[in-house]
Chain A
């Protein structure tokens, strides 16, 4: 058995670094428009960006506002723009993103306060694609069978945590909020390609409308932004092909 503690040098990971954070602030009770505020803190290389934000909130300025919960990338609360890219603050270490950080709220959704945006439009678009299983058969009181291949067909899109990193990285979405966006499409994909589901056509009809998949210009921003590693653009393409060729 190998007994090295870590490939990453433990001493380096624990060393305190000076981190500069430039954060876009907006408090509607005081400000007429957003403004930048600079902070300087000490953080370890192995700390996350969320740790750094907490250091500010808990020791410098308690009014700094952002959402967070699980702190390890499964709840999807803390999507933000970090040095120009959509990321979850809790899965990006200082050693990954550097010591000069520019942090802004995700784009395309109305900012409420600091890094907190209004998520309702995003969830409304999610709800619009019938994101739940519809099965016409009655399996009785026993499980339905599904082969491992059938299960694998939609595995990738079950990983979605609805963080909005993909949708709010999409230039089409920034320009046109009517577009349902990548997150809604992959949640439709998850059911369209589930062998147990019988409502694929209804979802494809929805996604064949002006607000649907044809808005996608295949920029791959969504795939790059996804913290779960979902092949978002590929899933969107699969939905497009299902509409065009009637193939599921």
Chain B
């Protein structure tokens, strides 16, 4: 059973198909998944256009993670990246090509030659729609393998059987959107690949549907979430909207400028300039705006300037994002700079797993048999405190494949679980309660309040005070959530209802994120505390494990980072 049909879910489905009976459950249609919105590329040290080695890629990923990534997992990802790209090429992916016909590669933030010397061309891409191509290609391969899809089935609970060391995952409860029926799926193996939870922020590059359903369901069942406080803000979201403009735009030569026209990244990262990692660029933008050098009437944005690039290069390499700018801002990027601001983009944290996609349930790496996770909803951890651009597309194909392979091996040696229809009662009660409630609190109003407080208080720059304010708002919202009521009492495509259930996931995960962020009194990667502006390796080189009890209270535990050959050093670019 695979929950979610983005890149990770589909890659896992390809891996398990033919080895065991497979079903993919998705609350959308597979091709609607947000993998399709990824633009810039997927890094792998193919060395097609210049010298490169997977070890350099691993070094960059470790350094980019601000030394919170687990180095053995990063080694696996960067080594297997090369196979993963070749696999995709064999599956038919329409990569952009070099004049000799090889897969072309371009520069991307934080990816360097020889341990930081200069930017390197490592990102394999298909114009600025690499994610679209990956999603389509993987779906095509699933069609070729006749994978069994349950489209528009939304999972609202996970099932277990046995106690103590005998406990194992036994299936899921899914809500069929077109009928309102609840289905109990008994399954020997379940792999969650449900994506991120960026809809807890107001300015976000994420789809409306990215509500953390997989992590939310597991968190609500007492399983831990790892490193929730590490949430990435992409530097170049369209001003006011948050729609993503790929880092590939800077890889192609685009420049960030403040309201005075200055190339401010020269000051922040003298070597790689605009191609510094995302956490650093987002903070630099924040600083420019805070210090009064923003652009526009309220001086609250900066520019992405592509005007010096040849128009043919823009048309060939960045057609989609320049189209977004024309559509939503009415600006011609060939002649005018583009107003941008950081946008909530990617969850480094999530469901803790090992390198085989097996979900671990404590800080001793104990595995929950039968339960797997891959992609953005999972935390291996290869991204640590800050993900490098392109490593998410890499993550989904590498760990989707590994998770699928491990699950197929496992399900072929265990018995079928015994699950009864009554397993759906918990979800049924929740649904009936929401439908029957006359409490008067509105889902949209609660969600907007959550998004406002998260963007204001828990984003690029945080303090104890701002996080406490977010926490107080979340506490209040969770109380009010008990009194939500909805207009639609029907059974067919009741998105009024599903939005209400999704909100419970966002609230719980936001609470876990803020609790982790309050506790972590240091600045590392995407987690920047103005009141603790340095990294503290002595005290904080460790992963957060957040547990939620039945009353919704969170406790935090910690697990040491797994090191390797790269010792922590100051992050300069």
Contacts and interface: CB of A to CB of B under 8 A. Distances in A.
Interface of A: 1-8, 10, 13, 27-30, 46, 57-59, 61-63, 65, 67-77, 91, 93, 112-114, 116, 119, 123, 127, 131-133, 135, 139, 141-148, 150-151, 154-155, 158-162, 191, 194, 196-197
A75 B92 CA distance: 20
A5 B442 contact: no
B444 A58 contact: yes
A142 B94 contact: no
Contacts of B491: 29
A5 B492 contact: no
Interface of B: 28-29, 31-34, 36-37, 46, 83, 85-86, 89-92, 94-103, 126, 129, 132-133, 136, 140-141, 143-144, 178, 207-209, 243, 257, 259, 261, 295-297, 303, 305, 307, 320, 324, 327-332, 335-337, 339, 442-444, 486-488, 490-496
A69 B37 CA distance: 11
B86 to A, nearest CB: 5
Contacts of B494: 63, 65
B136 A158 contact: yes
B140 A133 contact: yes
The 4 A-B residue pairs with the shortest CB-CB distance, nearest first, are A133-B92, A8-B330, A62-B487, A58-B444
B97 A146 contact: yes
A1 B492 contact: no
Contacts, number: 178
Contacts of A58: 442-444
A72 B495 CA distance: 20
Contacts of A197: 92
B31 A162 contact: yes
A113 to B, nearest CB: 5
A46 B29 CA distance: 29
Contacts of A151: 94-97
Nearest to A142: B86
Given A59-B444, A72-B324, A74-B132, A194 B331 contact: no
A25 B103 CA distance: 49
Given A3-B303, A74-B37, A74-B132, 19 more contacts: A2-B335, A3-B337, A5-B297, A7-B332, A10-B297, A59-B444, A63-B494, A69-B209, A70-B34, A75-B36, A93-B328, A113-B492, A123-B29, A133-B91, A143-B86, A145-B102, A147-B97, A148-B99, A160-B136
A2 B494 CA distance: 48
B392 to A, nearest CB: 16
A82 B91 CA distance: 37
Contacts of B101: 145-148, 150
A63 B89 contact: no
8 contacts: A1-B337, A5-B339, A63-B488, A65-B495, A75-B31, A132-B141, A145-B102, A150-B101
Max chain A C-beta neighbours (<10 A), residue from B328, B486, B494? B328
A29 B330 CA distance: 42
A27 B492 contact: yes
Contacts of A143: 46, 85-86, 89, 102-103
A139 B490 contact: no
Nearest to B88: A143
A191 B92 contact: yes
A7 B331 contact: yes
Contacts of B295: 3, 5
A161 B320 CA distance: 13
Nearest to B100: A145
Contact of B296 (A5, A93, A146, A147): A5
Contacts of B496: 57, 62-63
